[in-house]
Structure 1
Amino acid sequence: MTDVRPIRQKLHRIRSGAKAPRVLDLFAGCGGFSLGFKRAGYDIAAAVEFDANAAQSHGDNFHIGEWQHAIARDITCTPPTKLAEELRMGDVSLAVDVLIGGPPCQAFARVGRSKLREIAEHPEAFRHDSRARLYIEYLRYVEAFAPLAVVMENVPDMLNHGGHNLAEEIAEVLEAKGYVCTYSLFNAAFYGVPQMRERMLLVAVHREVASDVALPAPTHWIELPQGYVGSRAVALKLLAAKTAGGGRHHYVDAPLPTPDLKGAITTREAIEDLPAIDALTLLKEGVLRRGRKAFDVAVPYNPATQSNYVNTMRSWPGYEGKSAVYDHVIRYLPRDYQIFAGLQPGDQYPEAHKYALKLFDERLAALASKSAKIEEDTEEWHALRASIVPPYDAGKFPNKWRKMEADQPARTLLAHLGKDGYSHIHYDSSQARPISVREAARLQSFPDGFSFAGTMNPAFRQIGNAVPPLLAWRVADTLRQQLTASMSDQDVSAFPIRSRLAT
């Protein structure tokens, strides 16, 4: 059980109105989670991030001029006391009020309930199981910093990762440390993000703070495509089996939107004001070339009518946009721009491959009409085909490409944007291109004044890895209501949902 003395001292500090709640962001990335909490009135005290570009972005956006905050840190080599010393945070147990973050889940499919319980009782046990290292380090930070609340974000598969519910096991460990804990599945589109991004959020508050956990109510409505519904069902499969067997768990259904809410923010609403980039014309003129894409070139906004969402992105407090866009750059994909132009919204790689074959046949026919026929299966024929048709098997890579629909939120942005942009092809066929860095940021709900360190590829990766700031803001705002209200003032019926051990 966590020592309640620092808990009570920090709670008094917040509820007396003296200071804003302080946040420590672990596995922080560039700072999507931090940005949402800052918008809700929290103080971003510190962060731990392993990737150098992402750490630089976090430092640049939250601790301008404080170089020590922009240093990349490996959490496995940075125990809590070392971080507090390096950043001059003072007494570790009193340094922060809320701990947030999203530990990578890929390597921890089989940590095991017994192992996590062992960790809770014996903090050094992580040395015997490297697979559990990052989640265990996260829990060690909880133990050391004694936060009033913990918020963890991850993919839905965390509930069913190789037949293993890691979220439940972490909830049990936190409960043993004195926290009330709930986890659920959220879709970012329900909270004003122009992206159908499904995520697991685990929220825990110390029992000294509240007896229940409040989760944010949706602000927008959309009927999700069947693929998202199916993925959610897979994630919840273990819970259904456990409940059927009489088991208990900490999962609760998040509040669902109703059709009377505002419609979800569409891709068009999110990016229409950004300058058009006619890829085919720029390629022909030699403007688009291979090589590093600078972020310091100013491009004026499109004077199109601004949506409410655009106004939010341009006027976010502390991160207001300037008179022009500086990171509106795209990938150099000379073979594929012409294919992008011929796709219909919603088309994926099979349609793209079919259209590319059509373009190839048309090129062969045009050459034949000019008495320049190329014989099939010759070296020249294969070279021409390779210059037009992508090499991927349409049956093996059906989701590799996708042309966005203008009047729907975008599909989930992934860190893989750092390697290619085919998953998010611009809906405007006249532009015939993948989305730009700034368009990806808009779809993830980063305001225009938020900057990304590094070049194009690292920026895409940071954006794809981030927690959408608008979703983080809604979670942070609901949590702050609990942190600042006295126990007697809390009316749990006013909150959309409460934590419970489901049966």
Structure 2
Amino acid sequence: MIVIDLFSGAGGLSEGFHGEGFKTIAQVEKDKWACETLKTRTFFHFLKEKRDLDTYFKYVKSAHSYKGISTAREEVYIKYPELKEKISFEILNKKFGNPANDPEASSSNQIIKLIEKSAKYNNVNNVDLLIGGPPCQAYSLIGRSRMKEEAERDNRNFLFYYYLKLVKEFRPKAFLFENVPGILNAKKGMVFGAIQEEFDNIGYTILSGKQVDHKKNVLDFSDFGVGQKRKRVILFGFRKNLNYQYPNFDKYKIRWEHRLDTASIISDLPSLKPGSGEDFAVVDYVNNSSTSLTDYQAFMRRDSIGIMNHKARPLQDRDREIYQLAIEKAKNGEQLKYFDLPARLKTHKNEKAFLDRFKVHWSENTPHTIVAHISKDGHYNIHPDINQARSLTVREAARIQSFPDNYKFEGPRTYQFTQVGNAVPPIASKVMAKAVKELLR
């Protein structure tokens, strides 16, 4: 089954579909470093199919800096020149928008032509599924005639319409996109009503879930087998003549033999002090005995030779002391509040706003939601080990997001964090893929 992936990010959504036999002919993503991650992931899947993961491991070991990616990749291209061609067609570093207003943007027609070239390269005539999660700002769908001038200039307000246009152009059997729960109740439900109307006009039905009351259709990915509380909405649309039902995700939820708490997810990773670790090098596992691993940890280690993207942020002494206080509180089942801090550790007088700015992923609790803000600071993502007293690394955040250890994130660490925080967890996408595949067949 053929897939187009829009607003791909680092590829979390398409990862699950790939694992279920879908063929993604195009991934469209505006961020340069996320696209580099998509290319590296294409390396992995291509070389695994060739039964040559040794070449993949050689690549990730040789790329000691994000500045050396191109040189490291050329070694692989010498052996597999067709891989370079494949990537040039299938991974499109393009930003949706109006080139007249934004010189970095590409029109939907330009992107459609590139996808058509990829379809021709892959000998594909029909697309089965379109996936992706476009932001849907409320004022881009309601009262467009009343929009302020500055809102009109912001291409982000129209991203939904680019998604709609590509559905109209490629006429897939179905489409699926993940979004935040707010999309269902924005402007008292008028936004989602407008979305349904827009798709109805091009011959598609769109459902927010099994319940008639949209507010009851919010899903928590922790129920899917993902190791974090992450509430999202999965919108599913299909051509009216196909008369599909909403996918049965419950049927394919992954059941682990143990509770998914922070310890069962990341406790096997190498201990680090603030500022230590490796951004790019592959580090050996501390314990290679499968008997001491949880099922989840063993699953994360499949087809992997070690740990990547595992470097801790440096910390000021004051912040490290705060982290230790937060960990002590978490140990007793409490949340550190800003007003709990001794005066010498406070940096401002506002004790009413952002009281929960320091939050620990406690060992015995299900991790809280990983979001893109982790790229700015680590205060909301503190490691539970008081001896380490630091924030999570990219790899630890990726583990919580259910990315396997062989999934290398490219670019400077800040961009790696953003990619992880914005991603759809691959285990959630695997559940989606299984349920959607059952319908499409």
* TM-score category, normalised to shorter length: 0.7 to 0.9
Distance 1:261 1:301 in 2: 23
Distance 1:127 1:406 in 2: 46
Say which SS state the counterpart of residue 24 (structure 2) adopts.
Answer: strand
Residue number in structure 2 paired with 1:411: 368
Choose the corresponding residue for 1:32, options 2, 12, 36: 12
Determine which structure has the larger helix proportion and give its number: 2
Once the two structures are superposed, the pairs formed by residues 102-117 of structure 1 within 5 Å of their partners are 102-105=133-136, 108-112=137-141
Residue number in structure 2 paired with 1:150: 175
Are residues 303 and 394 of structure 1, via their aligned partners in 2, closer, same or farther at CA, if it must alter by over 3 Å?
Answer: farther
Residue number in structure 2 paired with 1:72: 93
> Are 1:299 and 1:328, in contact at CA under 8 Å, matched by a contact in 2?
no
Are residues 261 and 179 of structure 1, via their aligned partners in 2, closer, same or farther at CA, if it must alter by over 3 Å?
Answer: farther
Question: What letter is aligned with 2:177?
Answer: M
Are residues 130 and 81 of structure 1, via their aligned partners in 2, closer, same or farther at CA, if it must alter by over 3 Å?
Answer: closer
> Are 2:133 and 2:179, in contact at CA under 8 Å, matched by a contact in 1?
yes
Distance 1:443 1:197 in 2: 11
Are residues 128 and 54 of structure 1, via their aligned partners in 2, closer, same or farther at CA, if it must alter by over 3 Å?
Answer: closer
Residue number in structure 2 paired with 1:325: 307
Distance 2:279 2:377 in 1: 18
Choose the corresponding residue for 2:407, options 432, 447, 450: 450
Distance apart, 1:22 and its partner CA:
1.3
> Are 2:30 and 2:95, in contact at CA under 8 Å, matched by a contact in 1?
yes
Question: Given the alignment of the two structures, is residue 342 of structure 1 paired with residue 325 of structure 2, yes or no?
Answer: yes
Question: Given the alignment of the two structures, is residue 44 of structure 1 paired with residue 16 of structure 2, yes or no?
Answer: no
**Structure 2 unpaired stretches of 5+:** 44-82, 98-104, 146-150, 209-216
Distance 1:267 1:220 in 2: 20
Residues 424-474 of structure 1 deviation map (CA, whole Å, 9 limit, x = unaligned): 111111211111110000000111111111021111111100111111111
Residues 150-181 of structure 1 deviation map (CA, whole Å, 9 limit, x = unaligned): 10111111112354543332223223333332
Question: Given the alignment of the two structures, is residue 100 of structure 1 paired with residue 87 of structure 2, yes or no?
Answer: no
Distance apart, 1:98 and its partner CA:
0.7
Residue number in structure 1 paired with 2:382: 425
Distance 1:29 1:73 in 2: 12
In the alignment of these two chains, the number of paired residues is 370
Residue number in structure 1 paired with 2:340: 354
**Structure 1 unpaired stretches of 5+:** 1-20, 117-125, 222-259, 361-387, 485-503
Are residues 23 and 79 of structure 1, via their aligned partners in 2, closer, same or farther at CA, if it must alter by over 3 Å?
Answer: farther
Question: Given the alignment of the two structures, is residue 483 of structure 1 paired with residue 415 of structure 2, yes or no?
Answer: no
Distance 2:23 2:384 in 1: 38
Residues 9-31 of structure 1 deviation map (CA, whole Å, 9 limit, x = unaligned): xxxxxxxxxxxx11111111011
Residue number in structure 2 paired with 1:399: 356
Query: What fraction of aligned residue pairs are identical, expressed as a percent?
Result: 28
> Are 1:179 and 1:207, in contact at CA under 8 Å, matched by a contact in 2?
yes
Say which SS state the counterpart of residue 457 (structure 1) adopts.
Answer: helix
Are residues 302 and 104 of structure 1, via their aligned partners in 2, closer, same or farther at CA, if it must alter by over 3 Å?
Answer: farther
> Are 1:350 and 1:395, in contact at CA under 8 Å, matched by a contact in 2?
no
Say which SS state the counterpart of residue 181 (structure 1) adopts.
Answer: strand
Distance 1:392 1:326 in 2: 40
> Are 2:308 and 2:408, in contact at CA under 8 Å, matched by a contact in 1?
no
Residue number in structure 1 paired with 2:250: 217
Distance 1:129 1:334 in 2: 37
Say which SS state the counterpart of residue 233 (structure 2) adopts.
Answer: strand
Residues 167-203 of structure 1 deviation map (CA, whole Å, 9 limit, x = unaligned): 3322232233333321131101001111100001101
Distance apart, 1:57 and its partner CA:
1.1
Question: What letter is aligned with 1:200?
Answer: V
Residue number in structure 2 paired with 1:373: none
Residue number in structure 1 paired with 2:419: 462
Question: What letter is aligned with 1:196?
Answer: K
Question: What letter is aligned with 1:326?
Answer: M
Distance apart, 1:349 and its partner CA:
5.0
> Are 2:10 and 2:423, in contact at CA under 8 Å, matched by a contact in 1?
yes
Distance 2:288 2:365 in 1: 22
Distance 2:259 2:239 in 1: 34
Say which SS state the counterpart of residue 217 (structure 1) adopts.
Answer: helix
CA RMSD of aligned residues (A): 3.0
Judge which range, 340-349 or 428-437, deviates more: 340-349
Question: Given the alignment of the two structures, is residue 161 of structure 1 paired with residue 179 of structure 2, yes or no?
Answer: no
Distance apart, 1:146 and its partner CA:
0.7
Are residues 299 and 164 of structure 1, via their aligned partners in 2, closer, same or farther at CA, if it must alter by over 3 Å?
Answer: same
Distance 1:40 1:47 in 2: 17
> Are 2:279 and 2:310, in contact at CA under 8 Å, matched by a contact in 1?
no
Distance 2:337 2:14 in 1: 39
Distance apart, 1:338 and its partner CA:
2.4
Residues 349-370 of structure 1 deviation map (CA, whole Å, 9 limit, x = unaligned): 525x63454xx4xxxxxxxxxx
> Are 1:180 and 1:213, in contact at CA under 8 Å, matched by a contact in 2?
no
Say which SS state the counterpart of residue 89 (structure 1) adopts.
Answer: helix
Choose the corresponding residue for 1:178, options 203, 227, 232: 203
Say which SS state the counterpart of residue 177 (structure 2) adopts.
Answer: strand
Residue number in structure 1 paired with 2:265: 270
Question: Given the alignment of the two structures, is residue 83 of structure 1 paired with residue 111 of structure 2, yes or no?
Answer: yes
Question: What letter is aligned with 1:294?
Answer: D
> Are 2:311 and 2:393, in contact at CA under 8 Å, matched by a contact in 1?
yes
Distance 1:469 1:205 in 2: 23
> Are 2:94 and 2:111, in contact at CA under 8 Å, matched by a contact in 1?
no
Distance apart, 1:412 and its partner CA:
0.9
Residue number in structure 2 paired with 1:252: none
Are residues 168 and 409 of structure 1, via their aligned partners in 2, closer, same or farther at CA, if it must alter by over 3 Å?
Answer: farther
Say which SS state the counterpart of residue 147 (structure 1) adopts.
Answer: coil
Distance apart, 1:219 and its partner CA:
6.6
4+ aligned runs moved over 6 Å, structure 1? 126-129, 218-221, 260-263
Distance 1:128 1:327 in 2: 37
Distance 1:195 1:392 in 2: 33
> Are 1:89 and 1:95, in contact at CA under 8 Å, matched by a contact in 2?
no
Say which SS state the counterpart of residue 417 (structure 2) adopts.
Answer: helix
Say which SS state the counterpart of residue 110 (structure 1) adopts.
Answer: helix
Distance 1:294 1:131 in 2: 31
